Amino acid sequence: MKQTDTGHYDVNAREQITLTVEAYKAAEDLAVSLDGATLASSSSNPATYSFSVAANASAQFIDINCHFSASDPDDAYFQFYVEGSLGGKKFNASSIRKLDADWEAVLQFTLS
């Protein structure tokens, strides 16, 4: 896997992608979907999601929706990391902070 831009990655068909979401000063309250279908976490604290890149799709999209409660401090945030099974490194994908106007992030994975 190779990062080509913020939130955009070139991947190989059938590569296993791991998304890790770390919650800081907030409950682990998030929803993750792959191409519109809910993706179940394989573990929590931190939340971990994985999927295999489809061989017949030119691009796939991960949608991450985070939720902060009123009691979470203003400096609370979620940090995202992605890693591919065929090499590259663990990439710092992006983050969502409580004070951000939008609590959603989209990551794109394109066949190289």
Per-residue pLDDT of 74-110, as tens digits, reads 999 999 999 999 988 899 999 999 999 999 999 999 9
**Residue 90 gets which letter from DSSP?**
-
For 62, the domain range is 2-111
Look at the chain and report how many structural domains it folds into. Answer: 1
- With 90 as the cut, is the pLDDT of residue 45 above it? yes
Q: What pLDDT does residue 42 have?
A: 94
Distance set, CA 85 to CA 12, 41, 51, 52 (Å): 10, 18, 11, 9
- Cα-Cα-Cα-Cα torsion 9, 10, 12, 16, nearest 10 degrees, comes to -10
Locus of tokens 């682990």: 28
Query: Considering Cα of 66, then 104, then 48, then 90, what sign does the dihedral take?
Result: negative
pTM: 0.93
Q: What pLDDT does residue 69 have?
A: 96
Q: What pLDDT does residue 98 have?
A: 97
Q: What pLDDT does residue 112 have?
A: 87
Average pLDDT over the chain, rounded to an integer: 95
- With 90 as the cut, is the pLDDT of residue 38 above it? yes
